[in-house]
Each structure stands twice: as C-alpha cells, then as structure tokens.
Amino acid sequence: MGSEWNLSTLGEIARAGNHGLVDGPFGSNLPASSYTESGVPVIRGSNLTLGLGRFRAAEFVYVSEETAERLSRSICIPSDIVFTKKGTLGQTGFVPDTPFSKYLISSNQMKLSVDRRKADPLFVYYYVSSASSVERIIRDSESTGVPKTNLNYLKSFSILLPTLTEQKAIACILGTLDEKIDLNRQMNTTLEAMAQALFKSWFVDFDPVIDNAMAAGNPIPEPFRARAEARKTLGDQRKPLPVAIQHQFPDRFVLTEEMGWVPEGWEVASFGSKIELAYGKSLAVSVRVPGLIPVYGSGGATGFHNAALVKGPGIIVGRKGTVGSLYWVEKDFFPIDTVFYVVNNSGLPLYWIYQALQLFDIRSMGEDSAVPGVNRNVIYSKKMVFPKLQALEEYSKQVSAMTSRKKALDTANEALITLRDTLLPKLLSGELRIPEGEQ
C-alpha cells in the first residue's frame, strides 16, 4: 500500500454539521399510523442489502411532507449511505438518484452523508459493503451480546482512503461493473413481464378461448363480453395465435360454482391439491460455511453456504418478514425458515406455477394473523383454474426462449459479479493499484 493511503473513520469523513451521521427517528415519533399512500418514501431494512447490491427501490411506505419536515434530521438524499442499526446487521444501501429526491430513514436505520472534499461516497459505500466490513460489523455487534449497533460505533468505524482521485477511479471501475449487472437484471425484468403478460392473456383473461368461442359462434358469458368486443374492434391487429396453438384451447365456457365461468374442460381445484409449500430451515450466519450455494430469506438472497437444501430450479415464497415475496431460482439453493419453497409433484410446469403465484395477493393473506406472516393453509385453500396439459405445454414452448435468455443473462451476471468481487478487496486494500494515467 502506498504512503498516500490514510486511515480515517466514518465520523471524520461525514459531512460537517449535525446531520452528517445520524440515526432514524425514535420509534414513537414514527409510528405505523403516520404512514400515507404517497409522499416521502421511508427507507427500511427491506430496501437494503447484505453485501453488494446498492439499493432495493421497492416496497416503500411513505410519510407526508409535514412528517418528513418534522423529522428532517433523518432525511437522506441521493449518494447517502444507509446502515442497519437493528435487525439484519451489515445491511447497507446507496441511495439512488431516482425516482425520489429525498427519503426518510426508519427508526432501525442510520445514514451517512459523506463530505465529498474528503471522500467519494460510492467508494465509501463499496468499502463498508465489502465482505470484510460486513463481517467486522457482525462480529463487533456479537461481542456486545446484543445484536445491534449504534452511531458511536459507526463514527469510530475505520476506513482506508487513497487519494480522492484514486477513490473515484476505483468507484468508477466497480460502478461500471455494477451498472452492467443492473442492466442485465433490468432486461430479465422485461423478459419476466413478457412471460407474465402471456400468462395473463391465456390463463386469466382467456383470450384464446374467447377467440375460439367467437369463431365457433358460441355464446360469450357476460364477464367476458367487454373483452370480446374489444378484441373484435382490433380486427387484423388482434394477431390471433397460430392455428396449431389455437386448437389447444376450448371454444366455450362453462359455469362453475367455485370460479364462475371457466373454459370448458379445465379443472377448478385448490392450489394445495396440486402443490406443496415446504418450510425452509434455519441457517444462522454464524454457522454458514463459505460456498457457492445462495441462501434465501423472504427479503431475497442473504449470502452463501456450501450445501444446498433444494435442487434448482425452484420457487421461494416469503412466509415471514417480507410476506408474499416471490423468487425464481435457477440453481440449487438453501431457503431459510422465513420462507416456503415449492414442492411440485403435480406434473404442472414449474414456471407456470411461478407465474400463477404472482397473481396471488399473498401479503394480504397474512394480514388477519395474530403473528406477522402467512399460514400455508390459507394459500392452499386458494381456488384456481388449471388448464389441460396441451395448453400448458404450449405456454412452456412460448416462454422457453425467454427463460433461456434469462438464464444466459444470469450466467453473464455471475461472471461479472465474480470479477467485481475479486477486484473489490484488492482495489480497496491497495493490493491492486490503478496507474496514475488511468485515474
């Protein structure tokens, strides 16, 4: 390491003033009753990640502008760094430029606003989110016997800083890799949306059945008449399915007691009659063995282990914590005890089951429970329309190109993540230096 690398602390590089390094509002100052439908988003643990993965810009709750102004010391803005004070220690987040210009941190979080004259915010984020920093935070908190940390600890948290120019160069390299990773993820999100749109057209709106019924002169039930008229209006723009695929769908509807009008010959049954939701198993961070198997909780991937509990591909459903979260995992994985995983002995295509689950409002299914979470029997009782095998097979064929592309993007991201994670500790420690001409 060069002599120009200096040992500092987060407290020393915090922006001057009273709001450079602060924690969230006291709990009684931010009760759940203060949440609103819109306004200033609140950053909670579900928006942070354990390790790299800058920010999860979803599942926000909001407070009014008035509430945010009253709690203004806990406001954070783009390029601030958020830490977990209580909960999943080691979680961090780098506040993004969009879609909001300001946020409020929750009671269980802390935020650092970096003095840009002393340090580059993105470099600092990579430093505090590195595996060694996360391990240090967890280890130090465990030594106190209480699984939490505080502002004084963060203020004294040491950090090695090269020159500001080199900090920016390092952040640029790691940031470019992260941007490519994020772009691939966005492409996967688009492919996922396309697959979901096709699923909804075929198995929720029953467009092919409506088309067949109109072509055969069969009656269109009242719930589908508006959609049938809309499809008539499209005329040649409707783009009917190829005849071979269209023939896999019936040409009339029948009335059922459980689900109303459904395609003729399709089965109405409970979800639980076809699918099992098995419980994940406890796997504390302290007993995990370094490996390549992703560990999943209800908030997503939470680290790695050396052994899998379930062979991929598989489906994970949030049971406690982030109730109703849903993850498709291509490779072998280890689901912990805050989630269910799908056991499929039905012969139904697994990806079709994944799409069907996305239509369930699982989060609301747990709202009446005395204990935060969802009972799998509530999900089991959900009635569904199960198509005949031929229609399911056609869907699988149609989405196969999308799923293959998603796999390729996932594989590319694995390589990019490996490269980033290999470079990161070497760049942050000074073992690997950037030539001055490239800074």
Structure-token pair, residue 282: 């406890």
Question: Taking 60 as the threshold, does the pLDDT of residue 248 lie above it?
Answer: yes
Q: Who has greater pLDDT, 59 or 370? A: 59
Contact call for residues 83 and 111 (beta carbons, < 8 A): yes
Band of the pLDDT at 145, cuts 50, 70, 90? low
- For strand 40-43 and strand 103-105, is the pairing parallel, antiparallel, or unpaired? parallel
Check residue 204 and report its DSSP letter.
T
Q: How much is the pLDDT for 438?
A: 62
Q: How far apart are CA 370 and CA 348, in angstroms?
A: 34
Band of the pLDDT at 368, cuts 50, 70, 90? low
At 305-350, the pLDDT tens digits run 999 999 999 999 999 988 899 999 999 999 999 999 999 989 899 9
Cα 42 vs. chain centroid, distance in angstroms? Answer: 17
Q: How far apart are CA 124 and CA 127, in angstroms?
A: 5
Contact call for residues 54 and 34 (beta carbons, < 8 A): no
Band of the pLDDT at 391, cuts 50, 70, 90? very high
Cα 106 vs. chain centroid, distance in angstroms? Answer: 19
Residue type at position 230: A
Burial class for 157, CB neighbours closer than 10 Å (0-12, 13-18, 19+):
buried
Question: Taking 60 as the threshold, does the pLDDT of residue 2 lie above it?
Answer: no
Contact call for residues 339 and 296 (beta carbons, < 8 A): yes
**Total length of the chain:** 439
Structural domains in the chain?
6-161 (3.90.220.20), 270-386 (3.90.220.20)
SS3 percent helix, strand, coil of the chain, rounded to 5, is 45, 20, 35
Q: Is the pTM of this model over 0.85?
A: no
DSSP H helical ranges for 238-349: 243-246
Cα dihedral value 85, 86, 91, 94, nearest 10: -40
- For strand 293-297 and strand 334-335, is the pairing parallel, antiparallel, or unpaired? parallel
